[in-house]
Chain A
Amino acid sequence: MSQNLLEVHNIKKYFPIKKKLFSKKKEFIKAVDGISFTVKKGETLSIVGESGCGKSTTGRVLMKLLEATEGKIVFEGNDITGLSDDEIRPLRKEFQMVFQDPYASLNPRLTVKEIIEEPLIVHNIDKAKRADRVVELLEVVGLNKYHANRYPHEFSGGQRQRIGIARALAVNPKLIIADEPVSALDVSIQSQILNLLKDLQEKYDLTYIFIAHDLSVVEHISDRVAVMYLGRLVELTTRDELFATPLHPYTKALLSAVPVPDPTVKRNRIILKGDIPSPAAPPSGCTFHTRCPFAQDRCREQIPEFREIEKEHFVACHFAEELGS
């Protein structure tokens, strides 16, 4: 039986919109608007969705880089939602993050050694051990000790992402939140990093939350997949289920929109109309109703519940049963 490493209960993150003079109403960007899921120990849970749907905000709330507006986060059975900075510090090393942009996320003025050492210093590892650890980490991610005294700009995008991964691994975390870690990389390099992430997971028994917008990458790396739209989860199930029998109309459209690298395949594509609405003024009811080919009156009025339709298959659509078959 796999146990839950992380439980997320109804997390919300609202950003206040700068108030106009004299306006009475407080307005918010509902970046994350009530999402719940669990992450099992050792698995890769992917969160997929289009830009602005709240994936990064979710990641930052889980990392406690942002305070949740509402909701509860349980890590290894302990509620960590309201912990003070002091209480959270020892837990910080259990969670690490890898970012999309290997160019922006590494301090250009530090050497690779200093970058990887940083979390070790924060967690009071002594100096002699640190040096060995840096070399070990470099080798683990496919670099070597000769890279230690160089600066980020001397590396290619893929190598920089390796440095970011080494830094995340430094303090032996249990959970790594990887926010679009391969989105900025060329295809031939993407696959190197995906393979590396898989190897590391096996070697160190890591749990991943993998944030992405590319479904073909997600299918490759995930055990389970959560699909997000405008701050809410619309579908969550195992990788196999999601790709074989997606139930939510948005998931279906998303899957159908991915260009297939095979010129012999002719697809009957679902093309959604319109744009993604702004999270500052999300549509009423089911927020997907403005683009959903199956929307009905009820969808405009009532928010669909995120419910378990089949075992391990959660969907937020009033008509999931009818539309699924």
Chain B
Amino acid sequence: MDQPVLKVNNLQTYFTSDAGVVKAVDGVSFEVSKGETLGIVGESGSGKSVTSLSIMRLLKDTPGRIADGEILYEGRDLVKISENDMRKIRGNDIAMIFQEPMTSLNPVFKIGRQLEEAIILHLKFSKKEARERSIEMLTSVGISRPEKIVHEFPHQLSGGMRQRVMIAMAMACNPKVLIADEPTTALDVTIQAQILDLMRNLTKTTDTAILLITHDLGVVAEMCDRVVVMYGGRAVEESDVLSIFANPKHPYTQGLLASIPKIGERLDRLQSIPGNVPIPSRMPEGCKFAPRCPHAMDICWEKEPEYKEVITNHSVRCWLHEEVPQDESELVGSTQH
């Protein structure tokens, strides 16, 4: 296996306010290699976006700070480097796209100018080269009349087109890592299909490592090589995509997979996970999933389980898997899907 391009070790990002400290991310570890797509999946508030903003060091304007952990990019710890060094990495080596393209597009400048400026800044191209590269990038993201689009303002484009432009901008500097935070969540399903297809083709040709953040397990199944499942600010399970779907080990992953309605499968009642998505300021002691877990035991309420590799390349944070002398299938009935 390739050396990981990006490796996150026990990341902890806390938000401080008058009301106290919110541990939005509290123990997230994963790594992603060249050409690989790693999915980060979890419900709202599980800390997915804060994880990606931490990697990009984009928490400056928030009350959030990285309290502990390492973010290793090609061996350098991004937590420790200067803001100046980080600026060189951002956009150049690691690029990010958001659910809402207007987060990264400036409403008052034409598309062409924004693309060119990014290219000139990062790749030190001349104005003319930058214009050519812009057109080339817009073409590569499936925009049919790029010469026309460069003269338009973001608001003149549809949601799908804006998302394409943002991808073009992110990919223009050949980043080694692309962080995509819910890139298709706001899009219609036929447009989502276009964008996912585009992302798949782009990475095939560039070998970019992708961190794909989503709440949609369908998108995970179609796009990802490996998956990290997050719950209440923690990574609770990680494995290759086939194992996660065929043999989920964490009760939360099992519940999540069982709750999605699937086309072609007709159930009288859907399975669901009881209770509510946890609120970070009111996290239970012990395992964060205990209040909703059908297998919760005494120890689960008292002590948080560690995140452990229980079989090769399959990590779980759950007391059911803390000791694994028994046959694993006896521990938790695997979920059918």
Instruction: Name the residue of chain A whose CB is nearest to the CB of B270.
Output: A191
**Given that A191-B272, A195-B269 are contacting pairs, would A219 and B261 also be in contact in the complex, using a CB cutoff of 8 Å?**
yes
- A-B pair count, CB < 8 Å, reads 137
List of A residues within 8 angstroms of B337 by Cβ:
261-262
A249 smallest CB distance to B (angstroms): 12
When the two chains form their complex, are residues A188 and B221 in contact, meaning their CB atoms are under 8 A apart?
no
- Tell me, yes or no, whether B74 is within 8 Å of chain A by CB: no
Which of the segments A39-47, A96-104, A251-259 contacts the partner chain?
Answer: A251-259
The one of A159, A214, A216, A259 that contacts B196, using a Cβ cutoff of 8 Å: A259
B197 in contact with A271 (CB, 8 Å): yes
> A262–B263 Cα gap in the complex (Å)?
11
A215-271 at interface with B (beta carbon < 8 Å): 215-217, 219-220, 243, 253-265, 267, 269, 271
Interface range for B: 35 or more
A179 to B155, CA, bound (A): 27
Q: When chains A and B are docked, how far (Å) is the Cα of A262 from the Cα of B273?
A: 20
Q: B264 contacts the other chain (Cβ, under 8 Å)? A: yes
A255 to chain B, nearest CB (A): 7
- Complex partner residue of B277 from A156, A220, A261, A267, CB under 8 angstroms: A156
CB distance from B74 to the nearest CB of A (A): 29
Residues of chain A in range 153-194 having any CB-CB distance to chain B below 8 Å = 156-159, 186-192, 194
Whether the pair A243, B276 counts as a contact (CB closer than 8 A) is no
Residues of B within 8 A of A267 (CB): 222
Distance of A164 from chain B, by nearest CB (Å): 16
In the bound complex, do residue B259 and residue A188 qualify as a contact, i.e. CB atoms below 8 Å apart?
yes
> Could you tell me the distance between the alpha carbons of A65 and B256 in the complex, rounded to whole angstroms?
37
Q: How far is the CA of A72 from the CA of B337 in the complex (A)?
A: 45
A51 with B259: CB separation less than 8 A: no
Binds A, one of B2-10, B64-72, B184-192: B184-192
Q: Interface 1/0s, chain B 223-252, versus A by CB < 8 A? A: 000000000000000000110011000000
Tell whether B161 is near chain A: CB-to-CB under 8 Å: yes
CA A192 to CA B261, docked complex, whole Å: 12
Pairwise interchain contact A259-B276, C-beta atoms closer than 8 A: no
Q: Chain B residues near A91 (CB, 8 Å)? A: none
CB of A86 closer than 8 Å to a CB of B:
no
CA distance A309 to B107 in the complex (A): 48
B245–A261 touching, CB < 8 Å: yes
Which residue on chain B has the smallest CB distance to residue A267?
A: B222
Q: Which residues of A contact B222 (CB under 8 A)?
A: 259-260, 263, 267
Distance in angstroms from B2 CB to nearest chain A CB is: 21
Interface members, chain A 246-303 (any B CB < 8 Å): 253-265, 267, 269, 271-273, 275-276
Flag if A261 contacts B257 (CB, 8 Å).
yes
B261 touches A257 (CB 8 A): no
Check B270–A261 contact: CB distance below 8 A: no
Q: Which residues of B contact A198 (CB under 8 A)?
A: 268-269
26 contacts between A and B (CB under 8 A): A51-B188, A156-B277, A186-B44, A186-B215, A186-B277, A187-B215, A187-B259, A189-B276, A194-B270, A195-B270, A198-B269, A214-B189, A217-B261, A219-B261, A220-B266, A243-B264, A257-B192, A259-B221, A260-B262, A260-B263, A262-B221, A262-B245, A262-B337, A263-B221, A275-B158, A276-B190
Q: Which 4 A-B pairs have the closest CB atoms?
A: A259-B218, A188-B273, A191-B272, A191-B270
Give chain B's interface residues, CB within 8 Å of chain A. 43-44, 158, 160-161, 188-194, 196-197, 215-222, 241-242, 245-246, 255-257, 259-264, 266-274, 276-277, 279, 337
* Sample of 4 further A-B pairs with CB below 8 A, known A216-B261, A257-B192, A264-B245: A186-B43, A187-B215, A189-B273, A256-B193
